[in-house]
C-alpha cells in the first residue's frame, strides 16, 4: 500500500520533535504538497509518490536560519528521509529521486534540480516565501529571531546596505523578489509573479501607513 499524507504526518510527529516553528510546521508541509499537486496537475508528467515524499520530508532536518551548517540542512534531510522511507513500503527504485528533490530544494544548498520532480518541489517550496503566506512567515521568523520590522531611518535601504538579519522588510529585496527569477516551471512562475506583485503592493501600503 502506498504511503498517504496521514502516514507522513504521523511519522513527522515523531521524527520532527521540537524542530518545528511558525514557518516550518506541518501546515507548511501541507501547503508545499498542495503547491506540488497544483503545479504537477498543470505541468503533467510528475511522479506523485516522489513529490509527496519530497514535500513532507523536505524539512526533516530543520536548522535555524542562523545555524552555521544551515546549507547542509537539505542534504541531511535527504539522508534522513531515505533512511526512514527505506523502512516503509515506499518503492526502493524511487529513493534516489526523492533524495535529489529534497537535497536540491534548498536555496542555500546551491544544487541544480535535475529532474521534473525536483524542479516542482523547489518551486512549491519557494512559493511559500511569497504572497500573504510568505509575509506571515517572514514576520513570524523576524519576531522569532529578534529582528526589527524595518529600518525606521531608511525603510527601503536607499542610503545603506541591505540587511535582512536586522530588518524584515529588507528580506523582500534580498530574497523574495529575486526568488521569482529562480522558479523553474511555467505554472510556478505564474503563481510566483502574482504573489510577488501582491508583496510589492503590501510594501507600498506599509510605507504609506508608516508615513
Q: Residues interacting with its own copies, by CB under 8 A?
A: 21-23, 25-27, 30-31, 34, 131-133, 135-150, 152, 168, 195, 198, 202, 205-206, 209-211
CA 147 to chain centre: 20
CB of 91 to its own copies, least distance (A): 27
Which CB atom, from 143 or from 178, has the smaller least distance to its own copies?
Answer: 143
Take residue 158 and report the three cell numbers written for it: 536607499
Which CB atom, from 83 or from 136, has the smaller least distance to its own copies?
Answer: 136
CA distances (Å), origin 8, targets 5, 53, 176, 189: 5, 8, 29, 28
CA 90 to chain centre: 24
Residues 6+ away with beta carbon under 8 Å from 47: 94, 97, 116, 117
Which CB atom, from 52 or from 78, has the smaller least distance to its own copies?
Answer: 52
CB of 195 to its own copies, least distance (A): 8
Which CB atom, from 100 or from 171, has the smaller least distance to its own copies?
Answer: 171
Which CB atom, from 68 or from 146, has the smaller least distance to its own copies?
Answer: 146
Burial degree of 205 (CB within 10 A; 0-12, 13-18, 19+): exposed
CB of 103 to its own copies, least distance (A): 26
CB of 92 to its own copies, least distance (A): 31
Q: Positive or negative, the Cα torsion across 120, 121, 122, 124? A: positive
- Alpha-carbon distance of 26 to 13, in angstroms, equals 9
- Alpha-carbon distance of 100 to 209, in angstroms, equals 44
CB of 122 to its own copies, least distance (A): 18
Which CB atom, from 86 or from 205, has the smaller least distance to its own copies?
Answer: 205
Take residue 128 and report the three cell numbers written for it: 511559500
Amino acid at each position: 500500500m502506498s504511503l498517504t499524507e496521514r502516514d507522513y504526518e504521523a511519522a513527522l510527529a515523531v521524527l520532527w520533535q521540537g524542530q518545528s516553528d511558525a514557518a516550518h510546521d506541518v501546515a507548511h508541509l501541507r501547503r508545499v504538497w498542495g503547491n506540488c499537486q497544483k503545479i504537477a496537475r498543470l505541468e503533467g508528467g510528475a511522479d506523485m509518490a516522489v513529490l509527496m515524499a519530497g514535500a513532507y520530508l523536505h524539512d526533516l532536518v530543520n536548522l535555524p536560519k542562523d545555524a552555521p551548517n544551515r546549507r547542509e540542512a537539505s542534504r541531511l534531510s535527504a539522508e534522513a528521509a531515505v533512511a526512514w522511507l527505506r523502512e516503509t513500503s515506499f518503492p526502493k527504485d524511487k529513493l534516489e529521486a526523492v533524495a535529489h528533490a529534497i537535497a536540491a530544494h534548498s536555496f542555500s544548498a546551491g544544487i541544480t534540480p535535475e529532474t521534473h520532480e525536483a524542479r516542482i518541489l523547489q518551486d512549491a517550496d519557494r512559493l511559500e516565501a511569497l504572497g500573504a503566506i510568505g509575509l506571515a512567515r517572514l514576520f513570524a521568523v523576524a519576531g522569532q529571531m529578534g529582528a526589527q520590522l524595518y529600518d525606521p531611518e531608511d525603510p527601503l535601504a536607499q542610503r545603506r546596505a541591505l540587511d535582512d538579519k536586522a530588518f524584515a522588510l529588507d528580506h523582500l529585496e534580498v530574497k523574495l523578489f529575486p526568488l521569482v527569477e529562480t522558479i523553474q516551471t511555467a505554472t510556478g512562475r505564474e503563481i510566483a509573479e502574482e504573489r510577488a506583485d501582491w508583496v510589492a503592493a503590501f510594501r507600498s501600503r506599509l510605507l504609506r501607513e508608516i508615513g
